[in-house]
Amino acid sequence: MKRVSIVGGSGYTGGELLRILLDHPAVEVVQVTSRSRLGEYVYQVHPNLRKRSTLKFTDPDLLEPVDVLFLALPHGQAQHKIEEYAALAPTIIDLSADFRLRDAQAYQVWYKEPHSAPQWLSRFVYGLAELHRPEMSSAHYVSGVGCNATASILALLPLVKSGLLNPESSVIIEIKVGSSEGGAEGNPGSHHPERAHVIRTFSPFGHRHTAEVIQELDLKNVSLTMTSVDLVRGVLATAHATLQPGVATKDLWKAYRAIANENPFIRIVKEQRGIYRVPEPKVLAGSNYADLGFELDESSGHVVAMCAIDNLMKGASGSAVQSMNLMLGLAETTGLDFPGLHPI
Amino acid sequence: MKRVSIVGGSGYTGGELLRILLDHPAVEVVQVTSRSRLGEYVYQVHPNLRKRSTLKFTDPDLLEPVDVLFLALPHGQAQHKIEEYAALAPTIIDLSADFRLRDAQAYQVWYKEPHSAPQWLSRFVYGLAELHRPEMSSAHYVSGVGCNATASILALLPLVKSGLLNPESSVIIEIKVGSSEGGAEGNPGSHHPERAHVIRTFSPFGHRHTAEVIQELDLKNVSLTMTSVDLVRGVLATAHATLQPGVATKDLWKAYRAIANENPFIRIVKEQRGIYRVPEPKVLAGSNYADLGFELDESSGHVVAMCAIDNLMKGASGSAVQSMNLMLGLAETTGLDFPGLHPI
Amino acid sequence: MKRVSIVGGSGYTGGELLRILLDHPAVEVVQVTSRSRLGEYVYQVHPNLRKRSTLKFTDPDLLEPVDVLFLALPHGQAQHKIEEYAALAPTIIDLSADFRLRDAQAYQVWYKEPHSAPQWLSRFVYGLAELHRPEMSSAHYVSGVGCNATASILALLPLVKSGLLNPESSVIIEIKVGSSEGGAEGNPGSHHPERAHVIRTFSPFGHRHTAEVIQELDLKNVSLTMTSVDLVRGVLATAHATLQPGVATKDLWKAYRAIANENPFIRIVKEQRGIYRVPEPKVLAGSNYADLGFELDESSGHVVAMCAIDNLMKGASGSAVQSMNLMLGLAETTGLDFPGLHPI
Amino acid sequence: MKRVSIVGGSGYTGGELLRILLDHPAVEVVQVTSRSRLGEYVYQVHPNLRKRSTLKFTDPDLLEPVDVLFLALPHGQAQHKIEEYAALAPTIIDLSADFRLRDAQAYQVWYKEPHSAPQWLSRFVYGLAELHRPEMSSAHYVSGVGCNATASILALLPLVKSGLLNPESSVIIEIKVGSSEGGAEGNPGSHHPERAHVIRTFSPFGHRHTAEVIQELDLKNVSLTMTSVDLVRGVLATAHATLQPGVATKDLWKAYRAIANENPFIRIVKEQRGIYRVPEPKVLAGSNYADLGFELDESSGHVVAMCAIDNLMKGASGSAVQSMNLMLGLAETTGLDFPGLHPI
C-alpha cells in the first residue's frame, strides 16, 4: 500500500480525489489538509463520504512524508512551495494550473504574472495519460489538466494524431460547462437564482485553457468559446475544423477506433438511431471516460468533433489518479472503474 | 397619475415591484433607492428592464415626497425610520416583516428582538387583500406578506371561512420553495452546485411565517415545514388538516367556489384528467394568481389543501401592488394582468 | 377591433399566440381550432389561461371568416389548404415552415419533398420585421420564422447590414436550445429523466433553419450546429465569423447601435462588469426582445456574435404578432410589452 | 461465481441492477432479457455501460437455469409465471410489486385486481434487509420494495422499533420524488417542458406503497402524499407523527444511533451547522445509503422524521442486491460500495 496525502482537500477537486483514493485498492490516505476547515471531519465538507472515513482535515503546515502527494490548491500557490513538497514525497501530482505549461513565457502571457519556479516547469509531465503515457511511467512530477483543455484535446486527438486535420485549419471549439467547474467557492453569478437555467457565453475568447491545447496539440489557430449551461458536472467540447482534402467518414472511423483501442477511458459514441447517438456529459458523472463523436461534411471537409467528460473526473481528479497509477506501475484503470449512472 | 417611489430597489422584491409599476397605467415611478448600487441604471441590476427604463438608483437619504412609498428593505430596517417615511408619503406599503404582526409580544417571540416602533403595529393592515379588502380602501399603511404565510393562509382560507375545519385539528403545512425566496444575496447553500437538484427540508419547525398564519386565521395548532426544491420562483403549500365530522367533497367545492368567486386572483385547479390537475407554481411565474386545490378522504375527514403561488408576486410584490390598487381606489387587478407562461 | 382566429391552437406556439392575443388591445379572438382537443376549454391545454378565457377549441373544418388568420399547424399542412384559408381572411400569418422559403427548389432540398403550392411562395413575406418592415405594411401573407434562424439572422444582422462581414468568411453558428423548441408532443428523448441535464449536440450540420439564414442574409458558407441544454424556453446563437481587415470594436459598436436604434425589440447587452454582461435567454422568457452581443479579436478579425431570444416569442408567436401589428397599421409593439422576469 | 440473470432488463431498474452486478465480485451475469430491445447491446439502452459489457438482450422465453434470477418486469407480470421462474433458479428476487404484500386481500384492495398466485405470497420475504435480515439468510424468494415505502419505513423505523412512537398517532408522510420513479417509458406529464421545474402533488392520498408501510410497521393511521419535484433520482420522505409523552431529543438520538449501528447502509444526518444538516437525496445518487434525520418539538411531541434515498438503489436495485448478498451468505455490502458524488 502506497501512502498518499492530499494538500488542499476541501475543494471539489480535493473531495473527488479523496472519494477515489479512499476506495483505491493500492493506496492508503494519510493526510488531507485544509486551512479553512481544519479539524473538521472530511464528511462535513464532502457529505458523500459520511460513514466512509473518519479522517479530519489537518494543518497544511504539518505534512508528513508520504509516497505520493496530490496538490489540489488554488492556482498560483503550489509553485511557491514546490521545493518543500518535493522534499516530502518522491511522487507529486499537482492538479492546479501551475505546472501545466512547459514555457515560462507562455505562462506569463496567459496567467498575467511571472512564474515563480520556472526551473520546475520542465520537470513536470502534462497530466493526460492519452498523450504522455510512456513518460509517466518514469516521471516523478505530473501536472493536472484543465478540464476544458482535456475535452478540447481529446475531441481533436484522433484528427491530429492521424494527420487528417488540415494544418491550415482554424479550430473553433465551443465548450459548454456545468457549474462545478467554478469551484466550491460561490460568487454573485453562481447564486442559484442567477445561475439556474443559464446559457451564458461568459468567455468568447482567451480562456486560459487555450494555452494547454496549443501546447499539447501543437496547433496555432485555436479558439475556445465558453458557455455555462444548467448542469453541475460535465463539459462538452464541440470543435469545428477543416480536414485535409478528400478525407472521408470511413477514414475518420479508422482514426477514432485507433484512439479508442489504445486508451481504456476513450469511447466512441456515434449511433445512427436511438437517444444516445452523441457524446453527452450527463451520463459520465463520476466516471473517468471521455466520450468522443464526430460528424463530417465530406463535401466541404468541415468536421464537427465532440468530446464529453466529467470535469471533476477525466478533467481533473480522475486523470490525476490515472497518472498516479501509471507512475506507480499499477494498472491504469485501478480505482477508476465507476461507469457512471443512467438515468441521472 | 400617482407618484410612487421604492425604497430598497435592488433586491428581487424591489425589482419585481419596479417591473409591475413601470407598466402600471395609474402610477409614475419617481425614485428607486439603493445604497449599494447607487448611481447604476436599474437595468444593470434587473436585466429584464433594459430598454424599459432609464432610471438610476438614488440615495435612500434623499427621498422626495410622493403619493405612495413602497418599502422593500431587509427585515428590521423600516421600523427604525417609519416616522421619517410617514412624513414623506400619505400611503405606505412595507414589504418587510416589520409590520405584519399586530402584537409586539408576538413579534419579539418570533423575531427574537423587541420591536422598535410598537405603537405603529396597530396602524398597519396585513397586506393580503383576500383577508382585508374592506379595510384597505381606507388604510394609509399596509404591511407586506410572508410568501409562505400567503400560500398557507390561502390554502386554508376556504376551510376556515366556511367553518368546515375542525377547530381541534392540528394543521401540518408542508411547503416547498424555490431559491428566489432566499433573496438576491448569495450564501454557501445557494451556490449552484450545492443548491441545484436539492430536496432539502431546511426548517422542520418554527419558520417565522408561522406567526402570520396563526394571527390571520386564528388557528392554534399549526406547523410549517419548509423544503427547498430545484426551482427559482414558486411556493407550493400542502396543508393537512381534519374537517368537521360528515363534511363531503361537495361541501368543499362550495366553499372553494365561494372564495374563488369573491377574489379575482384566486383560481381552483382540480381536474379529473390531463396533466394540469392540481395547483403548480411553475405556471404562475410572473402572475399574481393563487391556485387552490384540495382532496378529501371522506371516511377520515383528512383533507389535503394546496395553494401554489409565485413567491415574488402573490407572495410579495404582486400582493403589495394589489393592496395599493385598493388603497388608491383603483380596480384591484390594475397592472397585474400578466397570466404567466406555459410551458416554462 | 379586428377579428382573429388561430388554426391549430393546442401546441405551444398556438398557446403563446393565444396568450398574447387575449390581452392585445386591438383584436378579438374568435376561434381557436384543435382537432385533438376539440370541445375542451383552452385553459385545459394552456393552464396559464385559466380564468382568462372561456373559449373552447373548435373544429378546424368549421372556420368562420375573420380579419386575420394565424396558422399554427405542424409543418407541411398549411400549404395543402392555403387556398381555403385565403378565402376566409384577407390577412394570413402562417407560423409553420411552409412559406418561409421563396424558392420551391430550395424547399425541396431542405424539406425532402416538393412543395404543394409553389405559386404561393412569392406571395409571402418572410416574417421577421427587422428584415421586412416596409413590405409588411402592405402584405397580405406573412410567413413564420424558424426560431434558430431568427437567432442566427439577428446575431449576424449588424455585421451583414454594415458590410463589416468579410464576404469570404465561413460562418459557424453554435446554437443552444431549450426543450420547448421540440413542441408539445413528447418523444423518447424528451422524457424528463433523459432530457434533464443534457448537453446534447443533436444536429452538427444540416438543420433546416439553415435555409432561412442563407436566404435572408444572402450568405453562402453557413453552418448551424444545434445543441440541446437544460432549459424550457430559450435559444442562444453564438456565431463565429471573420470581419473585413482592419475592423475595430468601435466600428462594431456603431453597427450594433444602428440596428438597436431602428428596431424596438433589439437590445445590445455588452457590459464590462456584473453578472449580466452578455445576452442570455433565461431573462427573455415571455418577452419579444432579441438581445445581441459581440466580442472581437481585432488582431485576427474573428468575431463572436451572440443573439438570445425566447423561441416561442421572438422565435415564433411574438414575431408573428409583431408582423400582424405592422400589417394592420398598428404600433409595432402593441400587445408585446411584457419585459420578461428576473430572476427566473 | 454465482450465475445470475435479469428478466426485464431494459427499464431503469433493470439497468441499475445490471450496472451493479457487472462489477459485483461474486457473480457473473448470464442473461439479460428484453422483448422490446431483443438483440440490441445492453449499452444501447443503458449508455453508461458502453465499453463495460458486450451482452445483448435475449429472448425472455429462452431463459437458462441459473443460481439467481432477478425479475425486473412491470408490475403484474411476474405473478403469472412465477412457477416457471422457480423451475429455473433456486433463488429469486422479484423487484415488482407482485410479492410485496403478504395478504392476498390487501393486494386486491390496493392493486384493484385479484392476485393470480396467492399461494406464493407467504413464500416471499419483504426485501428490506433492515427489517428482515435474519429471514433472508435462509430465504429462497425475496420481493422488491417500493421506493416510497422504503423511504417511509426507514424514516419511521427508529421511532417504531424503540417504541417511542405514540401508537395513537396519525402519521402523515410527505414524499418528494424525482422523475426516474416513473420508469423509462414516457407519458404526457413526463415531457420535459411539462415536467421540468414542477412541484406537483400528484397523489394526495392512496398511493399503493402505503400498503407496504402499513404491513411492515404494523401502523394503522398512515397516509402518503406524493409530490414530484425537479430531480431525476431521489426520494425524500418527511414524516410527521406524535411521540409518547415525555420523549426528549436525547431519547431519539439513542434510538437512531441503535438503528445506524445495526445497519451498514443507514446513516444519521443531523448537523448543527454547515450546508449538509439534513438528509438530502441528491448526494445519494448511485449509492445504497439511506440517510435519516429528525427534529422534535419536545413541548408537543411532534416529530419530523426524514429519510433520503436513491429510488433506483436503496429504493429498488440496491436493496435487491443487498438481499441477494444475504441470501447467498456474502457480506451485505458486497458490490454496493459506491458512496455517491458531491457535488452533483
- Each residue of C73-99: pLDDT tens digit? 999 999 999 999 999 999 999 999 999
Compute how many other C-beta atoms are within 10 angstroms of the C-beta atom of residue B54: 9
Does A32 contact chain C (CB < 8 Å)? no
Chain C residues in contact with B279 (beta carbon < 8 A) = none
- Determine the distance in angstroms separating the CA of C165 from the nearest CA of chain B, rounded to an integer: 27
Q: How many CA atoms lie within 13 A of C150 on its CB side?
A: 37
Chain D residues in contact with B175 (beta carbon < 8 A) = none
A51: nearest CA partner in chain D: D267
Chain B residues in contact with D340 (beta carbon < 8 A) = none
State the average pLDDT for chain C. 97
State the average pLDDT for chain D. 97
Strands D141-143 and D124-125: parallel
End-to-end Cα separation, chain C, in angstroms: 34
Give the pLDDT confidence score for residue C224 in this predicted structure. 98
| Annotation says D147 is catalytic | yes
State mean pLDDT over C210-227.
96
For residues D6-15, one letter each, b for 16 or more C-beta atoms within 10 angstroms of the residue's C-beta and e for the rest, the string is bbbbbbbbbb
List all residues 6 or more positions away from B253 whose beta carbon is below 8 Å from its beta carbon: none
pLDDT band at B216 (very low <50, low <70, confident <90, very high): very high
B344: nearest CA partner in chain A: A197
List all residues 6 or more positions away from B87 whose beta carbon is below 8 Å from its beta carbon: none
d(CA C14, CA C19): 9
Which H/E stretch holds residue D293? strand D290-297
Residue type for D74, please?
P
Give the pLDDT confidence score for residue C80 in this predicted structure. 98
d(CA B49, CA B54): 9
- Asked if A114 contacts A104 with a C-beta cutoff of 8 angstroms, the reply is yes
Residue (of C152, C244, C303, C250) closest to A225 by Cα position? C303
pLDDT band at B241 (very low <50, low <70, confident <90, very high): very high
Q: B228 forms bridges with which residues in the sheet? A: B177, B200
Q: What is the pLDDT of residues B290-327, one digit of tens each?
A: 999 999 999 999 999 999 999 999 999 999 999 999 99
Contact at CB, D19 and A283, closer than 8 angstroms: no
Instruction: Map grid coordinates 447564486 to a residue.
Output: A191
Residue (of D124, D184, D93, D150) closest to D313 by Cα position? D150
* Helix, strand, coil % over all residues of chain A, rounded to 5: 35, 20, 45
Compute how many other C-beta atoms are within 10 angstroms of the C-beta atom of residue A272: 5
Contact at CB, A196 and B197, closer than 8 angstroms: no
pLDDT above 90: residue B220: no
Instruction: Map grid coordinates 433520503 to a residue.
Output: D308
Does C196 contact chain D (CB < 8 Å)? yes
Give the pLDDT confidence score for residue D220 in this predicted structure. 87
Give the pLDDT confidence score for residue C330 in this predicted structure. 98
Does B341 contact chain A (CB < 8 Å)? no
C234: nearest CA partner in chain A: A199
Q: pTM to 2 decimals?
A: 0.97
Q: C174 forms bridges with which residues in the sheet? A: C225, C238
| Greatest Cα pair distance in chain B | 62
Report residue A243 CA to chain centroid gap. 26
List all residues 6 or more positions away from C112 whose beta carbon is below 8 Å from its beta carbon: none
Chain A residues in contact with D25 (beta carbon < 8 A) = none
Written as nine digits, the cell of B168 is 381541534
Chain C residues in contact with B343 (beta carbon < 8 A) = 12, 180, 184, 232-233
Q: What is the pLDDT of residues B151-193, one digit of tens each?
A: 999 999 999 999 999 989 999 999 999 999 999 999 999 999 9
Q: Catalytic residues of C, which ones?
A: 147
Residues 205-264 of D with CB under 8 A from C: 230, 232
d(CA A23, CA A34): 21
Give the pLDDT confidence score for residue D195 in this predicted structure. 98
Neighbours of chain B (3+ CB pairs under 8 A): A, C, D
Q: A239 forms bridges with which residues in the sheet? A: A173, A305
Residue type for C81, please?
K
d(CA D295, CA D225): 20
C50: nearest CA partner in chain B: B267
ipTM beyond cut 0.85: yes
State the average pLDDT for chain B. 97
pLDDT tens for chain A, residues 1 to 344: 999 999 999 999 999 999 999 999 999 999 999 999 999 999 999 999 999 999 999 999 999 999 999 999 999 999 999 999 999 999 999 999 999 999 999 999 999 999 999 999 999 999 999 999 999 999 999 999 999 999 999 999 999 999 999 989 999 999 999 999 999 999 999 999 999 999 999 999 989 999 999 999 999 899 999 999 999 999 999 999 999 999 999 999 999 999 999 999 999 999 999 999 999 999 999 999 999 999 999 999 999 999 999 999 999 999 999 999 999 999 999 999 999 999 99
Residues 268-307 of A with CB under 8 A from D: 269, 271, 274, 276, 280, 283, 285-287, 289, 291
Q: What is the pLDDT of residues B36-79, one digit of tens each?
A: 999 999 999 999 999 999 999 999 999 999 999 999 999 999 99
Compute how many other C-beta atoms are within 10 angstroms of the C-beta atom of residue D160: 18
Residue (of D262, D266, D313, D264) closest to D294 by Cα position? D266
Report residue B59 CA to chain centroid gap. 27
DSSP tag of A163:
T
- In chain B, the percentage of residues whose pLDDT exceeds 90 is 99
d(CA D8, CA D12): 10
d(CA A13, CA A299): 43
Chain D residues in contact with C191 (beta carbon < 8 A) = 184-186, 190-192
List all residues 6 or more positions away from A23 whose beta carbon is below 8 Å from its beta carbon: A335, D337, D339
State mean pLDDT over C187-199.
97
d(CA A91, CA A3): 11
Residue (of B3, B43, B53) closest to B23 by Cα position? B53
Give the pLDDT confidence score for residue A220 in this predicted structure. 87
A305: nearest CA partner in chain C: C204
Give the pLDDT confidence score for residue D186 in this predicted structure. 93
State mean pLDDT over D68-72.
98
- Determine the distance in angstroms separating the CA of A48 from the nearest CA of chain D, rounded to an integer: 6
d(CA B319, CA C74): 40
Give the pLDDT confidence score for residue D43 in this predicted structure. 98
Contact at CB, A51 and D267, closer than 8 angstroms: yes
pLDDT band at C304 (very low <50, low <70, confident <90, very high): very high
pLDDT above 90: residue C220: no
Backbone angles phi, psi at B231, to 5 degrees: -170, 150
Contact at CB, D12 and C232, closer than 8 angstroms: no
Q: Where are the alpha helices (DSSP H) in C191-276?
A: 192-195, 210-217, 249-262
Contact at CB, A193 and B187, closer than 8 angstroms: no
